[in-house]
Amino acid sequence: TNSSLYHLDINLSINYIYLMAVDNKIEWNFNNTYLSLPKIMLSEQKPDIVDKPEVVIINHALSKELGLNLLDLDDEYLASVFSGNSLPDGSKTISMAYAGHQFGHFTILGDGRTITIGEHVTQNNQGFEIQFKGSGKTKFSRDGDGKAALGPMLREYIISEAMHYLNIPTTRSLAVIKTGEKVIRETELKGAILTRVATSHLRVGTFQYFAYKKDDSNLKTLINFTINKHYPSLKNKENLYLNLIDKLMEKQIDLIVNWMRVGFIHGVMNTDNMALSGETIDYGPCAFMDQYDPKSVFSSIDHFGRYAYYNQPSIAKWNLARFAECLIPLLDSNKDKAIKLATDKINEFDKNYENKWLGMMRDKLGMIGNQKEDEVLILDLLQWMHINKADYTNTFGNLTYENMINDKIFHKDDFLKWKERWKIRLSVNNNGKTSEKTMKKSNPVVIPRNHLVEDALKTAETGDLEKTNRLLKVLSEPYKIQSSIQDLQTSPKPNKIPYKTFCGT
Protein backbone atom coordinates (compact mmCIF):
# COMPACT_ATOMS: atom_id res chain seq x y z
CA THR A 1 0.00 0.00 0.00
CA ASN A 2 1.22 3.56 -0.79
CA SER A 3 2.40 4.81 2.59
CA SER A 4 1.79 8.44 1.61
CA LEU A 5 -1.93 7.70 1.44
CA TYR A 6 -2.56 5.18 4.17
CA HIS A 7 -1.46 4.10 7.61
CA LEU A 8 -2.41 1.08 9.65
CA ASP A 9 -4.30 1.45 12.90
CA ILE A 10 -4.12 -1.76 14.96
CA ASN A 11 -7.29 -2.27 16.99
CA LEU A 12 -6.40 -5.18 19.27
CA SER A 13 -9.71 -5.15 21.15
CA ILE A 14 -11.60 -6.48 18.15
CA ASN A 15 -8.69 -8.26 16.50
CA TYR A 16 -8.57 -6.79 13.05
CA ILE A 17 -6.32 -4.50 11.11
CA TYR A 18 -8.12 -1.31 10.18
CA LEU A 19 -7.18 0.53 7.00
CA MET A 20 -7.59 4.30 7.35
CA ALA A 21 -7.18 6.80 4.52
CA VAL A 22 -5.39 9.99 5.47
CA ASP A 23 -5.69 11.76 2.15
CA ASN A 24 -8.59 14.10 1.49
CA LYS A 25 -9.56 13.67 -2.13
CA ILE A 26 -13.22 14.22 -1.27
CA GLU A 27 -12.37 17.56 0.37
CA TRP A 28 -14.01 16.90 3.70
CA ASN A 29 -13.78 19.69 6.25
CA PHE A 30 -14.44 18.08 9.61
CA ASN A 31 -15.08 20.06 12.79
CA ASN A 32 -16.64 17.45 15.12
CA THR A 33 -18.24 19.78 17.66
CA TYR A 34 -20.17 16.88 19.16
CA LEU A 35 -16.94 15.76 20.84
CA SER A 36 -17.61 18.56 23.34
CA LEU A 37 -20.71 16.68 24.52
CA PRO A 38 -20.66 14.66 27.75
CA LYS A 39 -18.52 11.56 27.31
CA ILE A 40 -21.19 9.31 28.81
CA MET A 41 -23.32 9.80 25.70
CA LEU A 42 -20.54 8.96 23.23
CA SER A 43 -18.84 5.72 22.36
CA GLU A 44 -15.81 5.69 20.08
CA GLN A 45 -16.67 3.13 17.45
CA LYS A 46 -15.14 2.17 14.13
CA PRO A 47 -17.30 0.67 11.37
CA ASP A 48 -16.78 -2.95 10.46
CA ILE A 49 -14.47 -3.75 7.56
CA VAL A 50 -16.43 -5.24 4.65
CA ASP A 51 -14.99 -7.61 2.07
CA LYS A 52 -16.43 -6.42 -1.20
CA PRO A 53 -17.75 -2.85 -1.07
CA GLU A 54 -19.43 -1.72 -4.26
CA VAL A 55 -21.07 1.58 -5.18
CA VAL A 56 -24.82 1.35 -5.77
CA ILE A 57 -25.64 5.05 -5.99
CA ILE A 58 -23.95 8.38 -5.23
CA ASN A 59 -25.87 11.62 -4.71
CA HIS A 60 -23.81 14.04 -6.79
CA ALA A 61 -26.35 16.86 -6.41
CA LEU A 62 -26.04 16.70 -2.62
CA SER A 63 -22.25 16.33 -2.73
CA LYS A 64 -22.09 19.54 -4.77
CA GLU A 65 -24.22 21.35 -2.20
CA LEU A 66 -21.87 20.15 0.52
CA GLY A 67 -18.82 21.30 -1.45
CA LEU A 68 -17.49 17.76 -1.80
CA ASN A 69 -15.61 16.42 -4.79
CA LEU A 70 -17.05 13.04 -5.80
CA LEU A 71 -17.43 13.31 -9.57
CA ASP A 72 -13.72 12.94 -10.29
CA LEU A 73 -13.22 9.88 -8.08
CA ASP A 74 -13.49 6.29 -9.21
CA ASP A 75 -16.07 3.89 -7.81
CA GLU A 76 -13.50 1.70 -6.09
CA TYR A 77 -12.24 4.61 -4.03
CA LEU A 78 -15.77 5.83 -3.23
CA ALA A 79 -16.86 2.32 -2.24
CA SER A 80 -13.94 2.10 0.17
CA VAL A 81 -14.75 5.47 1.77
CA PHE A 82 -18.53 5.10 2.01
CA SER A 83 -18.32 1.56 3.34
CA GLY A 84 -16.07 2.76 6.15
CA ASN A 85 -13.10 0.69 4.99
CA SER A 86 -11.10 3.91 4.44
CA LEU A 87 -11.94 6.73 6.80
CA PRO A 88 -11.07 10.31 5.88
CA ASP A 89 -8.42 12.23 7.76
CA GLY A 90 -10.02 14.30 10.52
CA SER A 91 -12.97 11.99 11.04
CA LYS A 92 -13.89 10.94 14.57
CA THR A 93 -16.13 7.90 14.51
CA ILE A 94 -18.65 7.61 17.32
CA SER A 95 -22.04 6.19 18.19
CA MET A 96 -24.34 8.09 20.52
CA ALA A 97 -26.50 7.11 23.46
CA TYR A 98 -30.10 8.21 23.80
CA ALA A 99 -33.37 6.98 25.25
CA GLY A 100 -36.89 7.03 23.88
CA HIS A 101 -40.54 6.17 24.17
CA GLN A 102 -41.17 3.51 21.54
CA PHE A 103 -44.90 3.08 20.98
CA GLY A 104 -45.35 4.77 24.36
CA HIS A 105 -42.91 2.57 26.30
CA PHE A 106 -39.70 4.08 27.69
CA THR A 107 -36.38 2.35 27.04
CA ILE A 108 -32.67 3.14 26.91
CA LEU A 109 -31.45 3.07 23.32
CA GLY A 110 -28.56 4.42 21.24
CA ASP A 111 -27.02 4.16 17.79
CA GLY A 112 -27.36 0.42 17.35
CA ARG A 113 -26.24 0.33 13.73
CA THR A 114 -25.18 3.87 12.89
CA ILE A 115 -21.78 5.51 13.28
CA THR A 116 -21.18 9.23 12.86
CA ILE A 117 -17.85 9.79 11.12
CA GLY A 118 -17.70 13.55 11.50
CA GLU A 119 -19.32 16.93 11.14
CA HIS A 120 -18.52 18.38 7.72
CA VAL A 121 -18.51 22.19 7.58
CA THR A 122 -19.33 23.81 4.24
CA GLN A 123 -17.85 27.03 2.83
CA ASN A 124 -20.79 29.04 4.19
CA ASN A 125 -20.06 27.63 7.65
CA GLN A 126 -22.98 25.18 7.84
CA GLY A 127 -22.29 21.98 9.72
CA PHE A 128 -23.64 18.58 8.59
CA GLU A 129 -23.14 15.31 10.43
CA ILE A 130 -22.10 12.43 8.19
CA GLN A 131 -23.36 9.08 9.42
CA PHE A 132 -23.05 5.49 8.21
CA LYS A 133 -26.17 3.36 8.69
CA GLY A 134 -25.67 -0.41 8.65
CA SER A 135 -21.95 -0.33 9.40
CA GLY A 136 -21.87 -2.92 12.18
CA LYS A 137 -22.48 -3.51 15.88
CA THR A 138 -21.95 -0.75 18.41
CA LYS A 139 -22.04 -0.49 22.18
CA PHE A 140 -25.78 0.17 21.83
CA SER A 141 -26.73 -2.66 19.46
CA ARG A 142 -28.24 -4.86 22.17
CA ASP A 143 -29.26 -8.05 20.32
CA GLY A 144 -29.01 -6.53 16.84
CA ASP A 145 -26.33 -7.27 14.27
CA GLY A 146 -25.76 -3.62 13.39
CA LYS A 147 -26.22 -4.35 9.70
CA ALA A 148 -28.66 -3.11 7.09
CA ALA A 149 -30.09 -4.54 3.88
CA LEU A 150 -29.91 -3.03 0.40
CA GLY A 151 -33.66 -2.59 -0.12
CA PRO A 152 -34.37 -0.51 3.02
CA MET A 153 -31.26 1.63 2.50
CA LEU A 154 -32.24 2.43 -1.07
CA ARG A 155 -35.76 3.07 0.15
CA GLU A 156 -34.51 5.66 2.64
CA TYR A 157 -32.40 7.20 -0.11
CA ILE A 158 -35.40 7.58 -2.43
CA ILE A 159 -37.88 8.81 0.19
CA SER A 160 -35.53 11.24 1.94
CA GLU A 161 -34.50 12.80 -1.37
CA ALA A 162 -38.16 13.04 -2.41
CA MET A 163 -38.94 14.81 0.87
CA HIS A 164 -36.13 17.29 0.27
CA TYR A 165 -37.47 18.25 -3.15
CA LEU A 166 -40.99 18.47 -1.69
CA ASN A 167 -39.48 21.27 0.45
CA ILE A 168 -39.87 19.36 3.70
CA PRO A 169 -37.02 19.48 6.26
CA THR A 170 -35.27 16.11 6.23
CA THR A 171 -32.09 14.18 6.67
CA ARG A 172 -30.62 13.35 3.27
CA SER A 173 -28.77 10.48 1.63
CA LEU A 174 -25.32 10.81 0.11
CA ALA A 175 -24.53 7.25 -0.91
CA VAL A 176 -25.57 3.61 -0.79
CA ILE A 177 -22.87 0.94 -0.89
CA LYS A 178 -23.30 -2.83 -1.15
CA THR A 179 -21.11 -4.63 1.35
CA GLY A 180 -20.91 -8.01 -0.38
CA GLU A 181 -22.26 -9.57 2.84
CA LYS A 182 -25.53 -11.30 3.59
CA VAL A 183 -27.95 -9.92 6.19
CA ILE A 184 -30.30 -12.38 7.81
CA ARG A 185 -33.83 -11.18 8.52
CA GLU A 186 -36.86 -13.31 7.64
CA THR A 187 -34.85 -14.24 4.56
CA GLU A 188 -31.27 -13.75 3.40
CA LEU A 189 -30.76 -10.22 2.06
CA LYS A 190 -27.94 -8.27 0.45
CA GLY A 191 -26.06 -6.09 2.93
CA ALA A 192 -25.66 -2.36 2.39
CA ILE A 193 -24.56 0.86 4.08
CA LEU A 194 -26.33 4.20 3.70
CA THR A 195 -24.49 7.47 4.22
CA ARG A 196 -26.93 9.83 5.91
CA VAL A 197 -26.50 13.61 6.18
CA ALA A 198 -28.21 15.71 8.87
CA THR A 199 -27.68 19.07 10.53
CA SER A 200 -27.50 16.95 13.67
CA HIS A 201 -28.78 13.68 15.06
CA LEU A 202 -29.86 15.13 18.41
CA ARG A 203 -33.29 13.82 19.41
CA VAL A 204 -35.86 14.28 22.12
CA GLY A 205 -34.57 10.89 23.26
CA THR A 206 -31.09 12.39 23.76
CA PHE A 207 -32.55 14.71 26.39
CA GLN A 208 -34.55 11.87 27.90
CA TYR A 209 -31.29 9.96 28.41
CA PHE A 210 -29.96 12.61 30.82
CA ALA A 211 -33.34 13.24 32.45
CA TYR A 212 -33.55 9.51 33.21
CA LYS A 213 -30.11 9.66 34.81
CA LYS A 214 -31.11 12.83 36.73
CA ASP A 215 -27.94 14.44 35.37
CA ASP A 216 -28.88 18.14 35.36
CA SER A 217 -25.31 19.33 34.77
CA ASN A 218 -24.86 17.38 31.56
CA LEU A 219 -28.43 18.21 30.57
CA LYS A 220 -27.49 21.90 30.67
CA THR A 221 -24.41 21.16 28.56
CA LEU A 222 -26.60 19.40 26.00
CA ILE A 223 -29.09 22.29 25.96
CA ASN A 224 -26.32 24.85 25.40
CA PHE A 225 -24.91 22.71 22.59
CA THR A 226 -28.35 22.43 20.97
CA ILE A 227 -29.01 26.16 21.20
CA ASN A 228 -25.59 27.05 19.78
CA LYS A 229 -26.11 24.62 16.91
CA HIS A 230 -29.77 25.11 16.02
CA TYR A 231 -31.27 28.09 17.85
CA PRO A 232 -28.60 30.75 18.53
CA SER A 233 -31.28 33.48 18.50
CA LEU A 234 -32.47 32.16 21.88
CA LYS A 235 -29.23 32.92 23.71
CA ASN A 236 -30.37 36.27 25.08
CA LYS A 237 -33.93 35.22 25.92
CA GLU A 238 -35.00 35.63 29.54
CA ASN A 239 -36.31 32.09 30.11
CA LEU A 240 -33.97 30.11 27.89
CA TYR A 241 -35.43 26.69 28.61
CA LEU A 242 -39.07 27.66 28.13
CA ASN A 243 -38.13 29.36 24.88
CA LEU A 244 -36.38 26.21 23.73
CA ILE A 245 -39.60 24.22 24.26
CA ASP A 246 -41.48 26.90 22.32
CA LYS A 247 -38.99 26.84 19.44
CA LEU A 248 -39.00 23.07 19.15
CA MET A 249 -42.81 23.09 19.20
CA GLU A 250 -42.85 25.63 16.37
CA LYS A 251 -40.43 23.51 14.33
CA GLN A 252 -42.39 20.32 14.88
CA ILE A 253 -45.73 21.90 14.06
CA ASP A 254 -44.29 23.18 10.79
CA LEU A 255 -42.88 19.72 10.05
CA ILE A 256 -46.09 17.82 10.78
CA VAL A 257 -48.17 20.30 8.78
CA ASN A 258 -45.84 19.64 5.85
CA TRP A 259 -46.26 15.88 6.27
CA MET A 260 -50.02 16.29 6.25
CA ARG A 261 -49.79 18.53 3.19
CA VAL A 262 -48.33 15.78 1.01
CA GLY A 263 -50.02 12.77 2.64
CA PHE A 264 -46.84 11.46 4.28
CA ILE A 265 -47.10 8.99 7.17
CA HIS A 266 -43.91 8.63 9.19
CA GLY A 267 -44.99 5.39 10.81
CA VAL A 268 -42.64 5.37 13.80
CA MET A 269 -42.93 8.69 15.65
CA ASN A 270 -41.10 7.51 18.74
CA THR A 271 -39.42 10.22 20.82
CA ASP A 272 -36.03 9.01 19.61
CA ASN A 273 -37.20 9.86 16.08
CA MET A 274 -38.08 13.49 16.82
CA ALA A 275 -35.03 15.54 15.85
CA LEU A 276 -34.19 18.80 17.63
CA SER A 277 -33.35 20.27 14.23
CA GLY A 278 -36.95 19.89 13.05
CA GLU A 279 -35.87 17.52 10.27
CA THR A 280 -37.64 14.31 9.32
CA ILE A 281 -35.50 11.42 10.49
CA ASP A 282 -35.74 7.62 10.21
CA TYR A 283 -37.49 6.33 7.10
CA GLY A 284 -38.33 2.81 8.28
CA PRO A 285 -42.08 2.12 8.09
CA CYS A 286 -42.97 5.39 6.33
CA ALA A 287 -45.30 5.63 3.34
CA PHE A 288 -47.35 8.07 1.26
CA MET A 289 -51.11 7.90 1.24
CA ASP A 290 -52.80 7.14 -2.11
CA GLN A 291 -56.53 7.04 -1.40
CA TYR A 292 -57.44 9.56 1.26
CA ASP A 293 -58.13 7.85 4.56
CA PRO A 294 -57.22 9.71 7.76
CA LYS A 295 -56.79 6.39 9.56
CA SER A 296 -54.14 5.18 7.09
CA VAL A 297 -51.47 3.03 8.74
CA PHE A 298 -48.75 1.15 6.87
CA SER A 299 -46.40 0.00 9.63
CA SER A 300 -46.58 -3.75 10.18
CA ILE A 301 -46.28 -3.31 13.96
CA ASP A 302 -48.65 -0.36 14.48
CA HIS A 303 -51.67 -2.52 15.22
CA PHE A 304 -53.70 0.19 16.99
CA GLY A 305 -53.01 3.16 14.71
CA ARG A 306 -50.89 5.09 17.20
CA TYR A 307 -48.94 6.65 14.32
CA ALA A 308 -51.76 6.82 11.76
CA TYR A 309 -51.98 9.80 9.42
CA TYR A 310 -54.60 11.67 11.44
CA ASN A 311 -52.81 10.93 14.74
CA GLN A 312 -49.50 12.52 13.79
CA PRO A 313 -50.29 15.96 15.30
CA SER A 314 -51.38 14.51 18.66
CA ILE A 315 -48.30 12.27 18.80
CA ALA A 316 -46.07 15.25 18.06
CA LYS A 317 -47.69 17.03 21.02
CA TRP A 318 -47.19 13.94 23.20
CA ASN A 319 -43.51 13.78 22.24
CA LEU A 320 -43.06 17.47 22.97
CA ALA A 321 -44.57 16.93 26.41
CA ARG A 322 -41.90 14.29 27.06
CA PHE A 323 -39.27 16.83 26.00
CA ALA A 324 -40.74 19.46 28.33
CA GLU A 325 -40.62 16.95 31.19
CA CYS A 326 -36.86 16.69 30.73
CA LEU A 327 -36.49 20.42 31.33
CA ILE A 328 -38.69 20.62 34.46
CA PRO A 329 -35.70 20.83 36.88
CA LEU A 330 -34.34 23.80 34.92
CA LEU A 331 -37.53 25.79 34.35
CA ASP A 332 -37.95 26.92 37.94
CA SER A 333 -36.65 25.99 41.38
CA ASN A 334 -40.27 25.53 42.46
CA LYS A 335 -41.30 22.20 40.92
CA ASP A 336 -45.03 23.00 40.85
CA LYS A 337 -44.37 26.28 39.07
CA ALA A 338 -42.02 24.55 36.62
CA ILE A 339 -44.67 21.93 35.79
CA LYS A 340 -47.26 24.66 35.24
CA LEU A 341 -44.92 26.59 32.93
CA ALA A 342 -44.24 23.47 30.87
CA THR A 343 -47.89 22.39 30.81
CA ASP A 344 -49.14 25.81 29.74
CA LYS A 345 -46.55 25.95 26.96
CA ILE A 346 -47.40 22.48 25.61
CA ASN A 347 -51.11 23.31 25.72
CA GLU A 348 -50.46 26.02 23.15
CA PHE A 349 -49.84 23.25 20.62
CA ASP A 350 -53.44 22.59 19.58
CA LYS A 351 -54.35 26.15 18.62
CA ASN A 352 -51.00 26.78 16.92
CA TYR A 353 -51.30 23.56 14.94
CA GLU A 354 -54.90 24.23 13.95
CA ASN A 355 -54.01 27.68 12.64
CA LYS A 356 -51.05 26.42 10.62
CA TRP A 357 -52.97 23.42 9.29
CA LEU A 358 -55.81 25.68 8.13
CA GLY A 359 -53.28 27.99 6.52
CA MET A 360 -51.70 25.04 4.73
CA MET A 361 -55.06 23.79 3.46
CA ARG A 362 -55.98 27.29 2.28
CA ASP A 363 -52.72 27.34 0.32
CA LYS A 364 -53.50 23.94 -1.23
CA LEU A 365 -56.84 25.34 -2.36
CA GLY A 366 -55.55 28.78 -3.34
CA MET A 367 -57.78 30.57 -0.85
CA ILE A 368 -56.27 33.98 -0.12
CA GLY A 369 -57.07 35.50 3.26
CA ASN A 370 -59.44 34.06 5.87
CA GLN A 371 -63.15 33.56 5.41
CA LYS A 372 -65.40 32.03 8.06
CA GLU A 373 -66.68 29.35 5.65
CA ASP A 374 -63.15 28.13 4.76
CA GLU A 375 -62.95 25.35 7.34
CA VAL A 376 -66.33 23.91 6.31
CA LEU A 377 -65.31 24.01 2.65
CA ILE A 378 -62.04 22.22 3.43
CA LEU A 379 -63.64 19.56 5.61
CA ASP A 380 -66.37 18.94 3.04
CA LEU A 381 -63.71 18.21 0.42
CA LEU A 382 -61.84 15.84 2.73
CA GLN A 383 -65.06 14.05 3.59
CA TRP A 384 -65.88 13.67 -0.10
CA MET A 385 -62.39 12.28 -0.75
CA HIS A 386 -62.75 9.80 2.10
CA ILE A 387 -66.21 8.57 1.06
CA ASN A 388 -65.23 8.27 -2.61
CA LYS A 389 -61.76 6.84 -1.90
CA ALA A 390 -60.27 9.61 -3.99
CA ASP A 391 -56.53 9.87 -4.48
CA TYR A 392 -55.18 12.56 -2.13
CA THR A 393 -52.42 13.88 -4.39
CA ASN A 394 -54.42 13.71 -7.59
CA THR A 395 -57.49 15.45 -6.14
CA PHE A 396 -55.50 18.56 -5.35
CA GLY A 397 -53.58 18.12 -8.60
CA ASN A 398 -56.86 18.13 -10.50
CA LEU A 399 -57.84 21.43 -8.85
CA THR A 400 -54.40 22.93 -9.50
CA TYR A 401 -53.86 21.76 -13.07
CA GLU A 402 -56.86 21.39 -15.33
CA ASN A 403 -57.24 17.76 -16.40
CA MET A 404 -53.87 16.70 -14.95
CA ILE A 405 -55.40 13.30 -14.24
CA ASN A 406 -58.35 12.28 -16.38
CA ASP A 407 -60.21 10.31 -13.73
CA LYS A 408 -63.98 9.92 -13.96
CA ILE A 409 -64.27 10.48 -10.22
CA PHE A 410 -63.63 14.18 -10.78
CA HIS A 411 -66.70 14.39 -13.05
CA LYS A 412 -69.12 13.23 -10.35
CA ASP A 413 -71.96 15.61 -9.53
CA ASP A 414 -71.11 15.92 -5.85
CA PHE A 415 -67.53 16.89 -6.63
CA LEU A 416 -68.59 19.38 -9.29
CA LYS A 417 -71.03 20.98 -6.84
CA TRP A 418 -68.28 21.33 -4.26
CA LYS A 419 -66.04 22.78 -6.97
CA GLU A 420 -68.59 25.49 -7.73
CA ARG A 421 -68.61 26.52 -4.05
CA TRP A 422 -64.82 26.60 -4.12
CA LYS A 423 -64.74 28.81 -7.22
CA ILE A 424 -67.12 31.26 -5.55
CA ARG A 425 -64.74 31.38 -2.57
CA LEU A 426 -61.77 32.08 -4.87
CA SER A 427 -63.67 34.91 -6.54
CA VAL A 428 -63.87 36.74 -3.19
CA ASN A 429 -60.23 37.77 -3.49
CA ASN A 430 -60.29 38.02 -7.27
CA ASN A 431 -56.59 37.22 -7.48
CA GLY A 432 -56.32 34.21 -9.76
CA LYS A 433 -52.59 34.43 -10.39
CA THR A 434 -51.73 34.52 -6.70
CA SER A 435 -54.06 31.57 -6.02
CA GLU A 436 -52.58 29.56 -8.87
CA LYS A 437 -49.01 30.28 -7.78
CA THR A 438 -49.77 29.31 -4.18
CA MET A 439 -51.46 26.05 -5.22
CA LYS A 440 -48.57 25.09 -7.49
CA LYS A 441 -46.13 25.52 -4.61
CA SER A 442 -48.31 23.47 -2.25
CA ASN A 443 -49.56 20.56 -4.37
CA PRO A 444 -47.04 18.13 -5.83
CA VAL A 445 -47.71 16.62 -9.22
CA VAL A 446 -45.89 13.45 -8.26
CA ILE A 447 -44.95 11.68 -5.02
CA PRO A 448 -42.95 8.50 -4.33
CA ARG A 449 -45.91 6.16 -4.46
CA ASN A 450 -45.40 3.03 -2.43
CA HIS A 451 -45.94 0.51 -5.23
CA LEU A 452 -43.51 2.36 -7.51
CA VAL A 453 -40.83 2.50 -4.83
CA GLU A 454 -41.22 -1.21 -4.15
CA ASP A 455 -41.03 -1.99 -7.86
CA ALA A 456 -37.84 0.08 -8.20
CA LEU A 457 -36.29 -1.68 -5.20
CA LYS A 458 -37.16 -5.09 -6.57
CA THR A 459 -35.30 -4.46 -9.82
CA ALA A 460 -32.44 -2.73 -7.98
CA GLU A 461 -31.83 -5.97 -6.08
CA THR A 462 -30.87 -7.52 -9.45
CA GLY A 463 -28.45 -4.69 -10.17
CA ASP A 464 -30.82 -2.81 -12.50
CA LEU A 465 -31.16 0.82 -11.30
CA GLU A 466 -33.08 2.12 -14.32
CA LYS A 467 -36.40 2.42 -12.45
CA THR A 468 -34.69 3.84 -9.36
CA ASN A 469 -32.87 6.51 -11.35
CA ARG A 470 -35.98 7.44 -13.31
CA LEU A 471 -37.99 7.77 -10.12
CA LEU A 472 -35.31 9.92 -8.49
CA LYS A 473 -35.11 12.18 -11.55
CA VAL A 474 -38.88 12.76 -11.69
CA LEU A 475 -39.11 13.24 -7.91
CA SER A 476 -36.45 15.96 -8.05
CA GLU A 477 -39.06 18.23 -9.69
CA PRO A 478 -42.30 17.27 -7.92
CA TYR A 479 -44.11 20.55 -8.57
CA LYS A 480 -43.45 20.60 -12.31
CA ILE A 481 -45.67 19.17 -15.04
CA GLN A 482 -43.42 16.64 -16.76
CA SER A 483 -44.04 14.68 -19.92
CA SER A 484 -44.53 10.93 -20.03
CA ILE A 485 -44.89 10.37 -16.28
CA GLN A 486 -48.56 9.33 -16.15
CA ASP A 487 -47.56 5.90 -14.89
CA LEU A 488 -45.89 7.56 -11.89
CA GLN A 489 -49.01 9.61 -11.08
CA THR A 490 -51.62 6.89 -11.09
CA SER A 491 -52.96 5.30 -7.92
CA PRO A 492 -52.30 1.58 -7.63
CA LYS A 493 -55.13 -0.81 -8.26
CA PRO A 494 -56.87 -1.96 -5.06
CA ASN A 495 -55.12 -4.92 -3.51
CA LYS A 496 -56.67 -7.43 -1.15
CA ILE A 497 -53.36 -7.57 0.72
CA PRO A 498 -52.75 -4.18 2.44
CA TYR A 499 -49.42 -2.51 1.80
CA LYS A 500 -47.09 -2.90 4.78
CA THR A 501 -43.79 -1.34 5.77
CA PHE A 502 -41.31 -2.55 8.37
CA CYS A 503 -38.98 -1.25 11.09
CA GLY A 504 -35.38 -2.20 11.61
CA THR A 505 -34.77 -4.02 8.33
Which residues does the annotation mark as catalytic?
272
State how far Cα 411 lies from the chain centre: 36
* CB contact at 8 A, 270 and 102: yes
* CB contact at 8 A, 216 and 208: no
Q: Quote the DSSP letter at residue 135.
A: B
| H-helix or E-strand spanning residue 40 | none
CB burial string 17-39: b at 16+ within 10 A, e below: ebebbeeebbebbbebebeebbe
Q: How far apart are CA 48 and CA 177, in angstroms?
A: 13
SS3 state of residue 440: helix
Q: How far apart are CA 114 and CA 119, in angstroms?
A: 14
CB burial string 177-193: b at 16+ within 10 A, e below: bbbebebeeeeebbbbb
Question: Nearest-5° angle of CA 295, CA 300, CA 303?
Answer: 55
In this structure, the chain runs to a length of: 505
Cβ-Cβ contacts under 8 Å for 422 (sequence gap 6 or more): 365, 377, 381, 399
State how far Cα 22 lies from the chain centre: 32
State how far Cα 217 lies from the chain centre: 30
Instruction: Compute how many other C-beta atoms are within 10 angstroms of the C-beta atom of residue 299.
Output: 23
**Got the DSSP string for 203-224?**
BHHHHHHHHHTT-HHHHHHHHH
